[in-house]
Structure 1
């Protein structure tokens, strides 16, 4: 752990229980590191790519089936939880001035066993997430060509394998892929949402009478859809890859979450107005392709399919990129097998990239979209609640945001369990 410039010795949480983290000021804590390749644009793209990548393409149909006409409210509440959690992650990461995320925060506090459990849980969650992205990529690609189910699985494997190869080339190549993919999908998604809003038809947001849900569905939808906001916290693992890390991570987290939340809300309103909520649910694996076809015929179908391919590819890229670095750091601490700490000549933790990608391929083949989404959402709600709790306990600046996000994440996890078990 490094000392933050101008702040004296490093913070050791274990020696200072409940220590107060001085409020971050850009002018005081900016560093002079020049080795990083991620500036604000690259970091913002990595975070947006990690969230939107599987988010709206994988979960829109699922959340509408749960929340109905209130799906946009589910995305809004989820975005508020994510924003508070992003505040906690950025403050804690800047205070320790080193990568690590929830795993690193717990080790600093002296909770080594819990940190070990969390890092394994996180890796499992990220593998599930990459599997969702791969599954979605395969579904859209196969649908575009009218190919059979086996072709969708083959496309899933190919996408994960190719992006793993990009990651093995190094951080600079991964960042270039992310910037191109993020802007391409944002333009297409916002264009689709704009067309839906132009054809204003609020009656199409409702499910058929026998499938209708009430306002409580919006709360259940938060739990089901929360995997769509996984991704911003990956920046805490990429801290050493950034230019001027304290400034970059704080700005990139806030702006990426804001951009993602706005995009989700607009698409959750616009897409059903084009295709109808019932059709979005019926074709949940390729829901936005249906909306694109309803808007612009074959052209809309092709554009949305292209966006889905770019989107899921960028999400796989961002998630594998950061998770391999998380595993590498934990391996250096002796919490994971030493092989995960091995790096290639270009500094890439190649064993982590290969293992994470291989496990995700298996799950993409054997898993269903709803089970993968719900499992990943539950994992991240619990981990984010934990990080918010740490931030509140450590008295970060504006700790009320961390406390509110902690309580909301716990409540959403409980509602998700009740929904999955038939309690609501």
Structure 2
């Protein structure tokens, strides 16, 4: 193993405050959840959609609390990859990083395809590739410009969502009775919906993975994560209630564009193009924040030689992990040509839930002096992550588990090859 101190490695600049960190988290969570996960979750849970949303929020809160305490203790790029390595051992850190990178790469592809579907459906793949290239160029110029663009995107998306809510709840077609839980609700359906909706909540990980670029991380990160999560929960619940009241669970579950359909059902068809533009902007915001998070975890893993070390470079001028960002963009461009959006959500959720299960296990090992959360928090977090992961659609579970196992096998092979090498220490 390299004897180079981690303190001697090229470091990123600390530029982000609480507001920018919260906005980056909002840009990821709100963009992904409202426009991509709400429909599949309603198809799974039926009238139990709001119960699934509440369950996802509880698990997300536990994960956010554990992540915030760990991020304040270890303010480095990499998130749970770093926490798992420092608290549980090298293998668990590696597995968390692997789960995050593969899961969020699928998320990037899903968001890019969402942009294509709304902007130019006939050429969705081409638009998806163009979106990845454009946002990679923005990220390449430095994280401050990315944070500024994300701030604009979040403001625009929130304005569109507020308009949708007002029109939906004030419509004569809205029926509060559609919010009632019916006989169609099942435990399995609610759990699956919670797992799919968790995909939308996972954006607060972007804040933790930017730990090396946040000013005063011990104060900023624990404040930014719960703020971003709380704002997102309020937005999700408000929009879900409004859309359910207009469409009902069945129509919502069958809709590929539920917010646009809700506005159309409310009798305000002129607003549909506005919602479509808002959806495209939201997906762009998510893609922007996702590429930031995945590239920073790739940087951290490359620094420790779990990924090609050439990816560990930091640009001397822009102070960003430019090679990691370019590598992530290249993979996303390839995946976007072959991945189904709804399938990508399930696969991404599986990987990210495994990632957060490791985060909660790491938080359990903190001492009170290190800022350990109440014991019940990581316990619920681990149990919730595992249950929701294996409640996802069967194909997502099988593919996700296979990829996680493949990562573990690669780790074992790498260790075996290094131990057998005559030059290994």
Tell whether the structures are fold-level matches, with TM greater than 0.5. Answer: yes
> Are positions 1:413 and 2:389 aligned together?
yes
Partner residue of 2:307 out of 329, 336, 347: 336
> Are positions 1:66 and 2:44 aligned together?
yes
CA contact (8 A) 2:357 2:385 kept: yes
Q: Deviations over 1:277-331 (max 9, x none)?
A: 43333332x2222223333634321221122122111111111112212211221
**Change beyond 3 A, Cα 1:412–1:53:** same
> Are positions 1:78 and 2:78 aligned together?
no
Q: Aligned-pair distance for 1:196?
A: 2.4
Partner residue of 1:242 out of 202, 214, 219: 214
Partner residue of 2:266 out of 268, 292, 295: 295
> Are positions 1:253 and 2:225 aligned together?
yes
Report the counterpart of residue 172 of structure 1 in structure 2: 144
Give the Cα separation in 2 of the matches to 1:170 and 1:356.
16
Give the Cα separation in 2 of the matches to 1:399 and 1:187.
39
Q: Aligned-pair distance for 1:419?
A: 9.0
| Structure 1, gaps ≥5 residues long | 1-9, 11-33
Q: Deviations over 1:131-184 (max 9, x none)?
A: 111111111223xxxx52xx1222211111111111011111101011111121
| Structure 2, gaps ≥5 residues long | 1-5, 7-11, 399-425
Alignment TM-score, normalising by the size of structure 1: 0.83
CA contact (8 A) 1:92 1:105 kept: yes
Give the Cα separation in 2 of the matches to 1:87 and 1:66.
28
Report the counterpart of residue 13 of structure 1 in structure 2: none
SS at match of 1:231: helix
Q: Aligned-pair distance for 1:238?
A: 0.8
Partner residue of 2:71 out of 93, 99, 108: 93
Report the counterpart of residue 175 of structure 2 in structure 1: 201
Give the Cα separation in 1 of the matches to 2:26 and 2:175.
29
Q: Aligned-pair distance for 1:208?
A: 11
Q: Deviations over 1:320-364 (max 9, x none)?
A: 112212211221222211121123221121121122122222222
Say what the alpha-carbon RMSD is for the aligned residues: 2.5
Give the Cα separation in 2 of the matches to 1:404 and 1:127.
27
CA contact (8 A) 1:331 1:340 kept: yes
Q: Deviations over 1:47-77 (max 9, x none)?
A: 1111112112111110010011121221121
> For structure 1, which segment, 70-79 or 124-133, has the greater mean C-alpha deviation from structure 2 after superposition?
70-79
Report the counterpart of residue 105 of structure 1 in structure 2: 83
Alignment TM-score, normalising by the size of structure 2: 0.83
Report the counterpart of residue 379 of structure 2 in structure 1: 403
Q: Deviations over 1:11-43 (max 9, x none)?
A: xxxxxxxxxxxxxxxxxxxxxxx9522111110
SS at match of 2:92: helix
Q: Deviations over 1:73-124 (max 9, x none)?
A: 2112111111111111110121234333111112213621332233222211
Q: Deviations over 1:356-382 (max 9, x none)?
A: 122222222211122111101111111
SS at match of 1:261: helix
Q: How many residues align structurally?
A: 381
Q: Aligned-pair distance for 1:421?
A: 7.8
Q: Deviations over 1:188-226 (max 9, x none)?
A: 2133123323344134458999xx444542222112222
**Change beyond 3 A, Cα 1:119–1:304:** same
Alignment of 1:361-380 (within 5 A): 361-380=333-352
Give the Cα separation in 1 of the matches to 2:326 and 2:355.
24
**Change beyond 3 A, Cα 1:214–1:319:** same
CA contact (8 A) 2:343 2:396 kept: no
> Are positions 1:154 and 2:126 aligned together?
yes
SS at match of 1:366: coil
> For structure 1, which segment, 391-400 or 80-89, has the greater mean C-alpha deviation from structure 2 after superposition?
391-400
**Change beyond 3 A, Cα 1:130–1:365:** same
Give the Cα separation in 2 of the matches to 1:273 and 1:196.
8
Partner residue of 1:312 out of 279, 283, 286: 283
CA contact (8 A) 1:207 1:277 kept: no
**Change beyond 3 A, Cα 1:197–1:405:** farther
**Change beyond 3 A, Cα 1:165–1:262:** same
> Are positions 1:324 and 2:295 aligned together?
yes
Report the counterpart of residue 193 of structure 2 in structure 1: 221
